[in-house]
Amino acid sequence: MSIALKQVFNKDKTFRPKRKFEPGTQRFELHKRAQASLNSGVDLKAAVQLPSGEDLSDWVAVHVVDFFNRINLIYGTICEFCTERTCPMMSGGPKYEYRWQDDLKYKKPTALPAPQYMNLLMDWIEVQINNEDIFPTSVGVPFPKNFLQICKKILCRLFRVFVHVYIHHFDRIIIMGAEAHVNTCYKHFYYFVTELNLIDRKELEPLKEMTTRMCH
């Protein structure tokens, strides 16, 4: 990775604040293990498997937060090129259009320009991962019964960020020399969600050809 790019990816404060796990807790240890998976040479397919004796919800929680942080940074690196003029619709090529619905301001699926959709999406995820009732940080506090359903929805929507970036902005990723980093992050994400059946297969269709080349 180029030095300029390293600075971009290391500037935590440039983008949304990261959700952190308390050192010394079990989730912090799992978080470190999940992060280590991005080191070169690690078998990502094996790295995403639930470690024996670990709780599925804990494992999913640390990955959801980690993927949110990483995908946030990836989108942050190209966001100046993703404008209402260049991307008047949140899409993944001519076949796929994503509409926003949050049951608050947008009660039914609404067509929005990509940057507006992305902002709403990141805000929506941030609110959930910072909600102690959904993502408890205290040891011994249980996850809600619908925790995995919430995570599936978050991951499904994060996948759409990859779709938009790969299909509409990958030229910028290549110019910045970030292709290997983004591809590794995508592979890690793809192996994780398919290993644990967290995203419906039809949602993965927009990147199917690329994924086949990269991950199989």
Annotated binding residues for Zn(2+), written as ranges, equal 82, 87, 164, 169
Q: How many CB atoms lie within 10 A of CB 86?
A: 12
Phi, psi of 91 (to 5 degrees): -145, 170
Binding residues, by number, are 82, 87, 164, 169
Residue that is written with structure tokens 């076949």 in the block: 95
Amino acid at 119: N
Distance CA 215, CA 211 (A): 5
Tokens matching residue 178:
């970030």
Residue that is written with structure tokens 């925790």 in the block: 147
* β-strand partners of 110: 100
Phi, psi of 82 (to 5 degrees): -105, 95
Distance CA 117, CA 158 (A): 12
Amino acid at 46: A
* Chain centroid offset of residue 131 CA: 18
As a residue count, the chain comes to: 216
Distance CA 18, CA 130 (A): 10
